[in-house]
Structure 1
């Protein structure tokens, strides 16, 4: 069959959207007051003032973080000024990003109203971590999806993540028409 004839008819439709945010919500005021204490850099008073000014200028009222004081105690390099912390950060992200992906996926599946077994494609987008096999593979396992589900992993798309994911979804919809 001609590939053009195989395309879906009409517009692609978003059937559901799932999102997840880290569990800890903090106010920016709390962050300003506690960041330097938690990182043992309270002596950097000029930097504290600059940090407070930047935070106030953004007009952001709150942020979601995965890092808790307990996590920072378990991984002291993350909070230590100038310590090598990339490996520690990635170790945390490799475990936690797929869990957040599961939360988002389950919300979308619930909104969609269909069974998990009907999923044929998975697009996983994150601005955190990069590993192989990726968070998409871990999510397939966490959701109990068939290993034959077609997966695409998008890392570090920044502000473009949502639009890139939607464009890719539209392309998949057109390339793989529903029966």
Structure 2
């Protein structure tokens, strides 16, 4: 047994994802932005380069207004007289659209795990793109038929790393009692916070964020379960003197995002040490589930550890097809990875997952893919717990 599976009694046994029905082509998004920005040619030259280099081809949005002809979109008005949506209007859209996406992903995760909703003991809901009360957790209890006595844990306004944070929290809950079954649901509607192109910061966020939801079931692994991600050691770290590199604040017309172009360089300065702290003297694993916060982040991790293109292909393909879905993204990556491992007939492989968010915060978690949990593996794990 190795660093990633001792004494890993918790595992992801089901994953679900969902997307809104409106698809955005990257070229078309840029054309709409270009049509709405008629005053600053320098900003548009910068935007053209960012849109071409960010690694995104398509994204999805809950807001059909983004499909309006160039200049007519309320979020990107072609003239100053048109009023962009207020924060309160955007929150109403979030309340209306987030629930069905979250419920769809959760139902898929439950079906994938082969569990009834009545089996779930803990519900962790994750989102940073909207808020309302009674919250998403309360509504999902009714929509999914969960117990009204379920333990609810909302993680709100934490950022892109919160999906992996929820997985780590769920692991701890499952390992505290054999009867615990945790449902994690992440939903993000990033596009409702698009801003008129008045600054480079606004355009940077508009270039690669998308909407979507993901969910997973984390439970104690048992013999006979198939295609499981066993969860091992993990930790989070707050990077010193980096709080100004990623800022997310509530503004009058949606949430205002600032992302520093120095983030990939910062990652190179500390991620290697943190991975070393996590795995000790063990060799690097083969599987890498990297949150694709942007092309530069995936590039940085690949360079630090000398990873092959195949090893980062899951993160790059999710970014290319769906954009950055904030907290929901990491489960999209793991779902894509699992599907590929199943297709290849892989029986066992070790991995590490990384996600980054405001703070700067980094989440790191070891895991192992197991094609089928055997009685021998469970016996080995029980022995290891007493060593």
TM range (shorter): 0.7 to 0.9
* 1:156 CA displacement: 2.6
Residue number in structure 2 paired with 1:23: 21
- Note if contact 1:78-1:85 (Cα within 8 Å) is conserved in structure 2: no
Q: CA RMSD in A?
A: 2.6
* 1:170 CA displacement: 0.7
* 1:28 CA displacement: 0.8
**Secondary structure of 1:122's match?**
strand
Matches within 5 A, 1:1-179: 10-37=8-35, 41-44=36-39, 46=41, 47-69=43-65, 78-80=75-77, 83=84, 85-178=86-179
Q: What is the TM-score when the length of structure 2 is the normalising length?
A: 0.39
CA spacing shift, 1:71–1:28, aligned 2, 3 Å: closer
**Secondary structure of 1:14's match?**
strand
Runs of 4+ in 1 over 4 A off after TM superposition: 76-84
Q: Distance in 2 between the 1:43 and 1:170 partners?
A: 51
Q: Distance in 2 between the 1:71 and 1:154 partners?
A: 31
CA spacing shift, 1:70–1:51, aligned 2, 3 Å: closer
**Secondary structure of 1:31's match?**
helix
Q: Distance in 1 between the 2:66 and 2:38 partners?
A: 22
Q: What is the TM-score when the length of structure 1 is the normalising length?
A: 0.78
- Note if contact 1:18-1:107 (Cα within 8 Å) is conserved in structure 2: yes
Aligned residues: 165
* 1:21 CA displacement: 2.7
Q: Distance in 1 between the 2:140 and 2:76 partners?
A: 29
**Secondary structure of 1:131's match?**
coil
- Note if contact 2:10-2:171 (Cα within 8 Å) is conserved in structure 1: yes
**Secondary structure of 2:125's match?**
strand
- Consecutive unaligned residues in structure 2, runs of 5 or more: 1-6, 181-387
- Note if contact 2:74-2:84 (Cα within 8 Å) is conserved in structure 1: yes
The one-character-per-residue Cα deviations of 1:106-162 (angstroms, maximum 9, x if unpaired) are 110110112122121111112320222221111112212221111111123322122
The one-character-per-residue Cα deviations of 1:6-43 (angstroms, maximum 9, x if unpaired) are xxx85211111222233222121111112455xxx253
More strand by share: 2
* 1:77 CA displacement: 6.2
Q: Distance in 2 between the 1:21 and 1:127 partners?
A: 17
The one-character-per-residue Cα deviations of 1:72-112 (angstroms, maximum 9, x if unpaired) are 8xxx8645567461111111101211211101101101101
Q: Distance in 2 between the 1:66 and 1:107 partners?
A: 19
